[in-house]
Structure formats: C-alpha cells, structure tokens
C-alpha cells in the first residue's frame, strides 16, 4: 500500500507539469530517491499519456469550451482545483513573490450575500491562526470582482484518499496532530464544525493541513443542520441544543473510526438513514469491523 501511495504522489507531479505545459520530468528523475519505482511509474505515465491522446482525438466540435479562468491582479491563474457550494478554489502563481498559492472565490448567485458573510468569517478566522497544521491566509480582497482569499497552497492529497494506506501508528499520529491544532482553535473560541477527511490534506511528510473554516463560528446557536451528514454531531441535528467545542471532538472521533475501519460508524443509503442510525447511537466496535485494529486504538 505504501508503494501505491508513493507512485500516486509521483504520478501527480508528472500530471501537474504536463497540464502546466512545461518540460515534463522523466520517471527516472521523479524516482531518484526510489529507483525501484521508476519502471512502474513509467508504465503509469505511458497509460496517462495514451488516455490524454485518446480523449483529445475523440473530442467533438460540439463540446462547449471550458469557461475562461478568472484573473487576479498580481497573479497568474494556473488551474481550477475544486468547486463547492459557496465558491471555487484556484491555483495561482504570485508574480511578485514567485510562489504558488491558492485562491478561494465566492460563487455568484442569489445566495451570494450569505456566501460572502461566510466567506468573510472564514478570512477573519484564518487570520487568527499561526499554526503550521492550519492553512495560512496571505491576503483578503473583499472588494474584488469576485472577492478572494489568497492562502497557502497545500501540495498533497486528501486524508480520505491516503488514510487507509498508512500504518496504524501513522493514522493515529495524523489524528493526534489535527486534534492538537483544533484544540488551539478552541482556545480562541472557534469551532471548525465541518471536520472530515476531505478537509484535511497530507503533505509528502504526512503532516496534516486543515482546510475550509467556512462553517466555523463561536455562536452556540448557529450552524445547526449544516455540514456533512456522516460527521455531524447529534447536537448539530437539534436546533434546540447548543453547539460547542465537543462538536469537533465528535467529528474527530468519526474520522479516526473511519481511518481505522474503512467504514463510517453510522451508514445508510440516504442522509435520512444516516441520521436515524446516528440518533440510535449503536455503532459497532472498530475491531468488529476490522479485526486488525490494535486494541489501544
């Protein structure tokens, strides 16, 4: 599993350079520290290039062109990284400081006003942190068109993609570091309220970076019925119950359970099924799901 993860990381580097249009690295150069990976990586690169060629050949003239990338003063826009309910994330190059950064912009639409308030809250929240495990904010442009947060670009993979390939002690260490960083946020009176594996990135050293404080808040009466259902704490489902730091502790427990077992403590075919299982509060013990889970964990 460790070999597969290493190959995935190196293939991602090749794809990034290929998409950028520059000189692409060879499999040998990408595996200079792990020469035994050069041959399987070369095969993966060849398969990727053949797929790209096939897709380009099959592309019809009736396919609408991709929308143009937005521009930001002082930056070169490289690519769109992701899109969510409230906005989009882009990869940029800072032309003044010659560094790669990420930009989060607010999606336009009828809910733009509410999205902007959440966006502004996230910018203010991130500005409070000086923790290497929490993504750093460099600049906020509230008056831009569109408004944008310029922040640290994290080179790596989502915890959900790599977590099950890690050794058990590595999984525990990642959750321990995330828990410590969230504890520091709680010391400032802020809860994340949307912790999940896709909001935690791992770099090549397996160090975590926590992303997306878009739902963070201090108000115990705010934030109910928001977030990702499998990671919601019971009090987030009941507007009559206050939300506090324990909500994040609960989500961290769900994340650790999923990392250990490869399954969520509460599942179901729909959100309603998951919520019903959560309220019943009868999860299986991790060792019942995955017998190899160490007893201390």
Please spell the DSSP secondary structure of 9-44, one letter per residue. Answer: HHHHHHHHHHHHTSPPPPHHHHTTT-GGGHHHHHHH
User: Is 194 annotated as catalytic?
Assistant: yes
Choosing from 194, 203, 244, 273, which is the catalytic residue? 194
Point out the residues that are catalytic.
194
């Amino acid at each position: 599993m460790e070999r597969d993860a290493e190959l995935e990381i190196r293939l991602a580097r090749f794809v990034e350079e290929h998409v950028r249009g520059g000189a692409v690295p060879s499999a040998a150069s990408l595996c200079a520290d792990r020469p035994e990976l050069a041959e399987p990586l070369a095969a993966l690169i060849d398969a990727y290039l053949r797929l790209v060629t096939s897709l380009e050949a099959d592309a019809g003239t009736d396919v609408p062109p991709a929308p143009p990338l937005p521009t930001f003063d002082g930056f070169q826009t490289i690519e769109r990284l992701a899109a969510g309910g409230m906005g989009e994330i882009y990869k940029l190059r800072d032309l003044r400081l010659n560094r790669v950064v990420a930009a989060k912009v607010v999606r336009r639409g009828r809910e733009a006003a509410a999205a902007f308030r959440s966006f502004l809250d996230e910018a203010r929240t991130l500005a409070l942190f000086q923790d290497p495990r929490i993504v750093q904010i460099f600049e906020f442009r509230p008056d831009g068109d569109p408004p944008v947060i310029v922040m640290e670009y994290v080179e790596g993979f989502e915890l959900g993609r790599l977590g099950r390939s890690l050794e058990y002690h590595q999984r525990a260490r990642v959750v321990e570091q995330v828990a410590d960083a969230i504890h520091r946020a709680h010391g400032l009176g802020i809860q994340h309220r949307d912790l999940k594996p896709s909001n935690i990135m791992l770099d090549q050293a397996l160090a975590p970076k926590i992303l997306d404080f878009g739902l963070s808040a201090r108000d115990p009466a705010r934030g109910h019925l928001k977030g990702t259902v499998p990671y919601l704490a019971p009090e987030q489902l009941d507007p009559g119950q206050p939300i506090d730091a324990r909500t994040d502790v609960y989500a961290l427990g769900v994340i650790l359970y999923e990392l250990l077992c490869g399954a969520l403590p509460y599942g179901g075919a729909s959100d309603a099924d998951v919520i019903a299982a959560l309220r019943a509060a009868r999860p299986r013990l991790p060792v019942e799901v995955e017998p190899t889970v160490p007893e201390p964990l």
